Structures are given as structure tokens and as C-alpha cells.
């Protein structure tokens, strides 16, 4: 696979994720957040499972054998994915689709911040002003709204911390195991099982509630989980991280378009400026390190 093909896969993933924000808001019915999250990840796991088993057998026989540390890492990745998805899903139900899309993109500048403080990785100077601008944009986008919407915004914002951790873990274990489909399906299974078990305890879902949310579970499970997450893992093996982050952050635009078309959502000029500031900060983080400004001058 060449770089252009990989970028097209990532673009398709962004389109699917952007459109899924609408379904995540209106397709849950009366089903609880935890149960809905668990069910959609189990559906996604079933979609990818046959391909993952085939890849696992090939990698085991021809490249490397999975070790205990690999499985523990994939379990941890699945747990982080579950927390991120539940927080985001709960927030989407209490704010607008447009806000959810823009705020979820905050995970992009958070990835290098976590790398700096946790993994001791060097970061480009642009990350610090860009991070400040992201939070200013977040305040402009959601600060002037009704308190219920602000609460939903905060749930979505809290999910971005775990999305940033998840992106970091996926990058580590997709590279380490050389089996991106196995990484995808294991994290789906872990997240799905946790969600269904906790959902049974916390949500106590009825059969009628599950059936009522059936189309939403199937759509999100097949497309957003099974297809888009897998496209992301595969695409990131063949394209630079900067390209991938920029392309995936375009889900915010598709989420806003979906909110306008299907839910009639509109942003005021002030709110729109906040969204633009977030996107501009994300692009600065990814593009400036590749420019002459971001490279050290020769002595």
C-alpha cells in the first residue's frame, strides 16, 4: 500500500466517524450509555474477527510470536478505549453533535503533551501555544451555552485524555506486534465485554431497549468500530503520523456537516470562531514541525 492509498483510508475513517456522531446522539433510544458502548464494540469485533484470526496465524508462523506483554498491552488498550468511548458517548447525549466533533479533536495536541510528560519525548515548541489556543477555542465554543450543554461538553473533553492515551497505545502495539487487525479486534472484545457486563449491572437493560437501539448499535458497530477504527490502524502503518493526525482531525468538519444536515444545528459566528481556532491549533501542531521554521538552523 502506498502513501496516497493510506491517506484515502484515513479520510474514509474520518468521514465515517464524523457521520457517526449523529447516530450516536439519536440512535441509542432508551438504552444506557454503558450498554450501548459495549454492544457496539462487540458488533465491531465480530466484523473484524475473521480477518484478525487469519493475520494472527500468519504473524505467529512467519514473523514473531505474541508474548505475554503483548496481550497485557492489548488488554490495557481495550480498557482505555472503553473509558474514552463511554465518556464521549455520555457527553454526546448532552451537547450538540457539532460541539462533540470539535471538542473530540482536542486529543490531537494532547498526544505530544502526554508524550512529553509521561514518555519523556521531545516535542516541538508549537505544542505549547497551540494547546493554549485549543483550550481558548473550547471556551469560546461552549462557554456561552446553557449549563446542560456545558456539562455535556465537559464529558466530551474528559474523553479526549483517554483518546490521546489510546492513540499512543495503538501506535506502540500495532508497531510491536506487526498485526494491526489483531490489535483492533482484541481491544474491541475487551471494551465490548466490559461494557456489556457493567451495562447489565448499572443500566439493567430490557430486551425492548436493546431492540430499540438495534439499528444504532449495528451502524456504529459495523461502520464506526469495525471499519473506521480498523482503517485507522492499517492506514497509520503506511503514512506519517503528521499526515494521519491532520486527516483524522477532519472528522470535526464532517460531524458539523452531519449536525447541520440531519439535526438542523447551527453555530453562531462567535462559536464558529472557537471551532476554527481549535482546528488551526491542530494544524499548527502537525504542520509547523515540517516547515523551515520548525527545523534548527545550520551552524
Summarised one tens digit per residue, pLDDT across range 10-50 is 889 988 988 888 888 888 888 999 999 999 999 999 999 99
**pLDDT of res. 253:** 76
244 vs 113, more confident: 113
Contacts of 189 (CB under 8 A, 6+ apart): 41, 42, 45, 78
The structure's pTM equals 0.82
Cα–Cα nearest to 225, from 81, 103, 93: 81
8-state DSSP, 96: -
Q: Do the domain assignments include residue 293?
A: no
pLDDT above 90 for 84:
yes
Residue 292 within any structural domain of the chain = no
For residue 273, what are the domain limits? 3-286
When the pLDDT of each residue in the chain is averaged and rounded to a whole number, the result is 83
Above pLDDT 90, what percent of the chain?
35
Averaged pLDDT, 57-64: 90
Whether 265 is in a domain gets the answer yes
Q: How many separate domains does the chain show?
A: 1
Q: φ, ψ for residue 96 (rounded to 5)?
A: -85, 155
Which residues, 6+ apart, have CB-to-CB distance to 59 below 8 Å? 66, 177, 178, 179, 182
Question: Would you say residue 163 has pLDDT above 70?
Answer: yes
In a domain, 299, yes or no: no
Q: Within a domain: residue 147?
A: yes
Q: Is residue 168 part of a domain?
A: yes
Amino acid at each position: 500500500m502506498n502513501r496516497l492509498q493510506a491517506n484515502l483510508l484515513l479520510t474514509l475513517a474520518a468521514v465515517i466517524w464524523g457521520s457517526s456522531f449523529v447516530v450516536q446522539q439519536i440512535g441509542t433510544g432508551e438504552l444506557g450509555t454503558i450498554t450501548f458502548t459495549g454492544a457496539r464494540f462487540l458488533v465491531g469485533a465480530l466484523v473484524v474477527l475473521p480477518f484478525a484470526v487469519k493475520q494472527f496465524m500468519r504473524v505467529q508462523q512467519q514473523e514473531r510470536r505474541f508474548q505475554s506483554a503483548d496481550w497485557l498491552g492489548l488488554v490495557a488498550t481495550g480498557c482505555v478505549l472503553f473509558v474514552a468511548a463511554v465518556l464521549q458517548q455520555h457527553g454526546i447525549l448532552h451537547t450538540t453533535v457539532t460541539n462533540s466533533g470539535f471538542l473530540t479533536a482536542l486529543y490531537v495536541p494532547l498526544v505530544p503533551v502526554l508524550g512529553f510528560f509521561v514518555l519523556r519525548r521531545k516535542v516541538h515548541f508549537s505544542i505549547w501555544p497551540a494547546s493554549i489556543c485549543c483550550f481558548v477555542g473550547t471556551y469560546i465554543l461552549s462557554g456561552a451555552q446553557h449549563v446542560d450543554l456545558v456539562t455535556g461538553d465537559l464529558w466530551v473533553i474528559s474523553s479526549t485524555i483517554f483518546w490521546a492515551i489510546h492513540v499512543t497505545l495503538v501506535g506502540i502495539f500495532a508497531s510491536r506486534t506487526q498485526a494491526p487487525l489483531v490489535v483492533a479486534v482484541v481491544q474491541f472484545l475487551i471494551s465490548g465485554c466490559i461494557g456489556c457486563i457493567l451495562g447489565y449491572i448499572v443500566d439493567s437493560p430490557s430486551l425492548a431497549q436493546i431492540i430499540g437501539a438495534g439499528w444504532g448499535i449495528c451502524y456504529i458497530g459495523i461502520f464506526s468500530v469495525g471499519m473506521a477504527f480498523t482503517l485507522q490502524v492499517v492506514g497509520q502503518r503506511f503514512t506519517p503520523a503528521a499526515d494521519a493526525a491532520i486527516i483524522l482531525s477532519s472528522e470535526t468538519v464532517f460531524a458539523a456537516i452531519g449536525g447541520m444536515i440531519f439535526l438542523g444545528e447551527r453555530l453562531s459566528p462567535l462559536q464558529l470562531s472557537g471551532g476554527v481556532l481549535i482546528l488551526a491549533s491542530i494544524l499548527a501542531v502537525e504542520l509547523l514541525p515540517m516547515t523551515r521554521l520548525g527545523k534548527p538552523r545550520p551552524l
